Chains A and B, each alone.
Chain A
């Protein structure tokens, strides 16, 4: 196994008496696109800034390419960063912004111009080199910020919510451009976002953070298919996974799930004999609940219908349980009417009372 590009071992950080990063262990391989995702305030930015060297590390090791860099100054780590605010110097032109780090290193003017030319061509900024940041659109500023980061050919580029200031359409476009850039230059990227869609679409691997801890760390599809706890289950996937509280009932031979709202459903292909009587949470992705006429598991009253054409989202109620259904095709169902629902028993996720997944 090769040495990872970035390795964090037992990394901790407190602000005052509050421990914001509570022991993080992860490794980022060379050329990987790793995304830190988690709710606002969970410590993503802090962790990223610790890698950059903008925040000190209280304890634990930060290893870059085999070398412990806890105490190496930020500019000597070979790491570049794109800020959420872009932080383009307003008094400099686009070319000066991009070339600033080379200018500081006293690189000859001709070489700076050449490098700025290379980067601006890559990012389609060649026409804008003489403008100031104030004269650029949001997407253009974003690209200048990326240009400033990549001109030094860093081994690692850190992004802190770089798309959060853009409108939805531009965000989709920049997402594609970032992926293209990653494929062309193959830098190691650590990318922070609170938007799980961004994480799912771009990441090689996702680190799900919550309250300063790593909840789960894996490829996007693995996180989607096998969340290890209710937090990850609820956080990854859009629309969210349905999480229904209930109890396991039955005997040694066969078991069922009984929702607190009253309805029950079989639990197939599982050996849950020991868990009978246990309080659990049943997780079901919206696409695993479908309106049906055969094999009906429960009936529910439709509260909201969202017809998107190719898909229809239903918000259906059974007692206290609200189930989000993602049905294929266009369904002309009226709110207030009753719908019969069939569940995909093979795609159930069961979580114990502490929220951890139950395998078996």
Chain B
């Protein structure tokens, strides 16, 4: 009996490993192509060993293209949106977890709907709303800032301005983040807060010294998902930004792909590699919080 089941489990293990290896190769191939092509002096569409190793493609991204600017734009808008998401989801998730209001469940499912609806379908009304808001803030700001109007609107405008993109990016990421934080706080017993109250902590001290440290793994997870998802967003910056100096990295990549008659695969691969790095860093950074165990304070 034991022999048969051992043989069977051996075969299963073998099959499982083969399947996993095939899937892994399938997943990792594009990355290998990208990494190799980005340092290949004669990069092609197919996977091949570099003819000779060169870093010209990377130099080109920063020297000839506006790579630094795109990268900075992406980082600024996405980090700002992530920050907003973490603050709002942290406070909102806490409120949604502790509240006993009747509208709690309907609200939670309603915001999930935002996530489920394809954003492409909402683009036209969204654009219309942002345009109205943009005109509004424009009339408000024009008399105040005078000749700096254009550069101020690039910061605070809703169309072709950072603020609009940041808010829309944050809004898109909020439902999931709110859910993550709500569920996370559901698992944080009220006892911690009550213990802190009896220890003499004020509301601000309770948030800063007890709730935020307790919520850190959840906030890291919510922030991670928000960052990765917003970092990968292509449609919103494409629609909302038109000034070349506001372009984000994926738009720059896209334009570089379209612009030249002959496609420079080396340049594209280098751009894509640069585009990838923050996501990888974000992941490895947030992983620390996800893995870190916070068990043991309250008996589980």
Contacts and interface: CB of A to CB of B under 8 A. Distances in A.
Is this pair of chains taken from one and the same complex?
Answer: yes
4 smallest A-B Cβ distances: which pairs? A134-B296, A90-B297, A87-B191, A75-B200
B298 A87 contact: yes
Contacts of B214: 89-91
A100 interface: yes
A134 B297 contact: yes
Q: Name which of A80, A85, A138 has the most chain B CB atoms within 10 A of its CB.
A: A85
A104 B200 contact: yes
A81 B194 CA distance: 9
Contact of B195 (A87, A136, A138): A87
Contact of A101 (B189, B191, B194, B199): B199
Nearest to B216: A91
Nearest to A92: B213
B192 A89 contact: yes
Interface in A95-136: 100-101, 104-105, 132-136
A205 interface: no
Contacts, number: 82
A132 B299 contact: no
B210 to A, nearest CB: 6
Given A89-B210, A90-B214, A104-B205, A81 B297 contact: no
A26 interface: no
B198 A79 contact: yes
Given A54-B197, A74-B197, A87 B189 contact: yes
B238 to A, nearest CB: 42
B294 interface: yes
Contact of B194 (A86, A87, A88, A133): A87
A196 B109 CA distance: 46
Max chain A Cβ within 10 angstroms of own Cβ: one of B191, B199, B200, B295: B199
Size category, B interface: 20 to 34
Contact of B199 (A85, A104, A134, A165): A104
A148 B192 CA distance: 13
A45 to B, nearest CB: 11
A52 interface: yes
Contacts of A81: 194-195, 198
A224 interface: no
Interface in B270-300: 293-299
Interface of B: 189, 191-192, 194-201, 205, 209-210, 213-214, 216, 293-299
Contacts of B191: 83-85, 87
A74 B201 CA distance: 10
A105 B205 CA distance: 11
B39 to A, nearest CB: 43
Contacts of A54: 194, 197-198
Interface in A41-89: 52, 54, 74-75, 79-81, 83-89
Interface string A248-279: 00000000000000000000000000000000
A74 B198 contact: yes
Interface of A: 52, 54, 74-75, 79-81, 83-91, 100-101, 104-105, 132-136, 138, 141, 148, 165
A136 B199 contact: no
A90 B210 contact: no
Interface SS, B side: helix
B37 to A, nearest CB: 45
B195 A105 contact: no
Contact of A133 (B196, B205, B297): B297
Contacts of B196: 89, 100
Contacts of A74: 197-198
A141 B195 CA distance: 14
A159 to B, nearest CB: 13
B208 to A, nearest CB: 11
B298 A104 contact: no
Contact of B297 (A52, A88, A101): A88
B147 to A, nearest CB: 50
Given A54-B194, A75-B197, A101-B199, A90 B299 contact: no
A138 B299 contact: yes
Contacts of A134: 293-297
B299 A75 contact: no
Contacts of B296: 88, 90, 132-136, 141
Contact of B299 (A52, A86, A104): A86
B197 A87 contact: no
A90 to B, nearest CB: 3
Contact of B198 (A52, A90, A91, A165): A52
Contacts of A87: 189, 191-192, 194-195, 297-298
B197 A101 contact: no
A85 B299 contact: yes
Given A75-B198, A88-B296, 16 more contacts: A52-B198, A54-B194, A80-B198, A87-B192, A87-B298, A88-B297, A89-B195, A89-B210, A90-B214, A90-B298, A91-B216, A100-B199, A104-B200, A104-B209, A132-B296, A141-B296
A87 B296 CA distance: 9
21 contacts: A52-B198, A54-B198, A75-B198, A80-B198, A83-B194, A84-B191, A86-B297, A86-B299, A87-B191, A87-B192, A87-B297, A87-B298, A89-B196, A89-B210, A89-B214, A90-B214, A101-B199, A101-B200, A133-B296, A134-B293, A134-B296
A85 B189 contact: yes
A90 B199 contact: no
Nearest to B199: A101
A100 B191 CA distance: 15
Nearest to A132: B296
A85 B298 contact: yes
Contacts of A90: 214, 294-298
Nearest to B210: A89
B197 A89 contact: no
